[in-house]
Amino acid sequence: MHPLLKLKRFFIGKPLRLDEQHHELLPKWKALAVLSSDALSSVAYATEEILIALVVAGSSAMVWSIPIALVILALMLVVTLSYRMTIDAYPNGGGAYTVAKENLGSHAGLVAGAALMIDYILTLAVSVAAGTANLASAFPSLQNYVVLISLIVILGLTLMSLRGISEQATFFAYPTYFFIFSMAAMLLSGAWKIHSGEGVSLPTPTYLPEIGLVLIFKAFASGCSAMTGIEAITNGIPLFREPKTKNAKTTMSAMVIILGFLFFGTTYLANQYVLQPLPDKTIIAQLASGVFGDGPAFYIVQACVAMILFLAANTAYAGFPALASLLARDRYAPRQLASIGDKLVFSNSIFGLSLAAAFLIFIFQGEPHALIPLYAVGVFLSFSLSQAGMVVHHLRKKESGWKSALALNFTGAIATTAVLLVITYSKFSHGAWIVVFLIPSLVFTFSRVHRHYLDFSKELGAVSPSYSLVHSKVSNRVIIPISGIHVGVIHAIQYGNTISSQIQVCMVETDPAASDRVKSTWNTVASDIPLTILPSPYRSVLLPLLDYIDQVRRQNPGDYITILVPEFVTAKWYHQFLHNQTAFFLKAALIGKPKIVVTSVRYHLKTT
């Protein structure tokens, strides 16, 4: 087995057959861990984002986080009920992309698809950055290494995702549930302490006219990051065991109940303890310290929060490849994104997602508060398109109970669109403009890719019934570039004789002495084959060779030209780097030239 293949097997494991795919499907308890970790992890930063917006008006304005959280919970309920209906209507997954495409048209579907793709990339970047921030809160000595730690975490998550969804779910399930139980224990302990009279006396609240609606809207827009990841289950329905739709709906309900409890509980306790955002300590860290002190329980909570934030990235690894494969099958994205790898996962999409998120981490220096403003625009745009699509779906299908469903989706569409406008306005200057620019750019890219595939299919299929190979016979001329006379050259000439009677050998003269040696012995090697010496006063090898090939093309229009490159294959794979890569560079330089074939004639060396 090749060393690279051994290395791949070590990190990713043995490949799976297609008929083993049913073993990769998830029960509800595992699906909750895989598909809900993004939504649940938002508890770690959603409350803090609300408080960051309110703190500019003083500590007395912080009490407004409670009504803001209640409005977000109401919106969360509406969106969840809507997505439960989406699961019934579209059991094959696809979420907002499928709903918008089938009900609002392909352009709306592409907008939803672009928004979701950006959302998933940001999910990975924000989750890893926030997890590292929580880790650095517990261990301040790590503050200078947050970017490096984040990139290492992304690498580890990438390898884990490539191992397959089943292994991934088993690995991620236990930390997810440990996070839920540890957070619940902290919130219940804190609530009991407050009930027992250990709470902090709250400051007199600031009235709304004193802080203004704009500040409330900014805080609300920031807190809506608590809703990120809710749509992941509708995109991942194919991952569930049968009955898929029933299991998906049950999992979504469980996720929202847990999310609502943790989000509101965190916001409530943060108010009771009068916590304020600090640059070097997160709200969750302050809350854990206030409830448990600085003992082992504090570090357990911090470890759990960091872990769930890291694992939240797994939602992106589940959702992004599924969405990308749908776009690729509809010919809006490169077809390679629909290819299934050794472990029955979309490996190319996983690599693309990881590289994009790593780039964001590097650009924003691992700062979660700089990334979060980019986050919610795509989320609520996809929410709005999904809700609007379901409105059209109910009007078209008019299935049982459609009127009440229509009312719910219409209400949801109005609410999420209003929130989208608030978020875009509030966060535009803080980075949301990047997403506003990227979404139409991605839609344009999708459209161009689609146009390319349509033109590609049209051109390949344009074959006349009277088309005959007899009418299109052409000659094949062989050019063999050499750097000297050796066994590899002899093998190339032997192979060239099997495919053409018109062989030309050429050598670029970078060393006159070497050229003279080749010329003096050429007649004893292949006297019947002409040898052309190409002058190169500036010692360039590639340019004189390309000029020569162009000259042969002009002299023989319509003929095929095959470039045979003698190439060594070394006994040790790492020895290959000690030899030139002429074939690679020739293929790259000639890729746009019609009727030119570049191939290697390999000679396997036995030298160790």
pLDDT exceeds cutoff 60 at 324 = yes
Q: What is the mean pLDDT of residues 255-264?
A: 93
Q: How confident is the model at residue 527 (pLDDT cuts 50, 70, 90)?
A: confident
pLDDT band at 210 (very low <50, low <70, confident <90, very high): low
Percentage with pLDDT > 90 across the chain? 17
**Cα–Cα separations (whole angstroms), residue 482 to 170, 334, 363, 490:** 56, 37, 46, 10
| Reported confidence tier of residue 181, pLDDT bands at 50, 70, 90 | very high
Amino acid, single-letter form, for residue 424: T
What are the pLDDT digits (tens) for 442-480? 999 999 999 888 887 776 655 555 555 555 567 899 999
Parse the chain into domains and list their residue ranges: 22-453, 469-604
The strand pairing partners of 598, in sequence order, are 563
Please tell me the predicted confidence (pLDDT) of residue 468.
52
Does the pLDDT of residue 4 top 60, yes or no? no
What is the tens place of the pLDDT at every residue in 214-251?
A: 788 778 878 887 887 788 788 778 778 888 888 989 99
Would you state the pLDDT for residue 341?
Answer: 65
Cα dihedral 149→150→151→155 (10° resolution): 100
579 DSSP 8-state letter: S
Of 326, 363, 376, nearest in space to 122 by CA: 376
Q: How much is the pLDDT for 2?
A: 52
Which has the minimum average pLDDT: 78-92, 197-211, 581-595? 197-211
Q: Which CATH class is domain 469-604?
A: alpha beta
55 compared with 533, residue with greater pLDDT: 533
Q: Which pLDDT band, with edges at 50, 70 and 90, does 114 fall under?
A: very high
* Confidence (pLDDT) at 82: 86
Q: How confident is the model at residue 521 (pLDDT cuts 50, 70, 90)?
A: confident
pLDDT at position 69 is: 92
Asked if residue 419 has pLDDT above 80, the reply is yes
Q: Which of 7-16, 62-71, 378-387 is predicted with the least confidence, judged by mean pLDDT?
A: 7-16
Cα(199)–Cα(190) distance, rounded to whole angstroms?
Answer: 9
What pLDDT is recorded for position 261?
94
Q: If you average pLDDT over each of 132-146, 193-207, 324-338, 562-576, which comes out highest? A: 324-338
pLDDT digits (tens, 9 = 90+) for 59-93: 667 788 899 999 999 988 988 888 888 888 888 76
Task: Report whether 114 contacts 439 (CB < 8 A).
Answer: yes
How far is Cα 552 from Cα 550, in angstroms, rounded to an integer?
5
Q: Write b or e for each residue in 248-283: b if 16 or more Cβ atoms lie within 10 A of its Cβ, otherwise e.
A: bbbbbeebbebbbbbbbbbbbbbbbbbbbbeeebbb
* pLDDT score of 212: 63
For residues 283 and 69, what is the distance between their CA atoms, to the nearest angstrom? 15
Q: In this predicted structure, what is the pLDDT of residue 549? A: 92
Instruction: Count other Cβ atoms within 10 Å, centred on residue 177.
Output: 14
**Does position 265 have pLDDT exceeding 80, yes or no?**
yes
pLDDT for 137 = 74
The vertex-589 CA angle with 587 and 594, nearest 5°, equals 80
Q: Tokens 């084959």 correspond to what residue?
A: 529
Give the pLDDT of residue 332: 92
pLDDT at residue 11, as a whole number: 57
- Average pLDDT of every residue of the chain: 81
Asked if 143 and 281 count as a contact pair (C-beta separation under 8 A), the reply is: no
Mean pLDDT for 359-371 is: 81
- Cα distances (angstroms) measured from residue 44 to each of 266, 305, 310, 365, 368: 9, 7, 11, 19, 11
pLDDT at residue 505 above 90?
Answer: yes
pLDDT of 494 reads 92
Q: Does domain 22-453 sit in CATH 1.20.1740.10?
A: yes
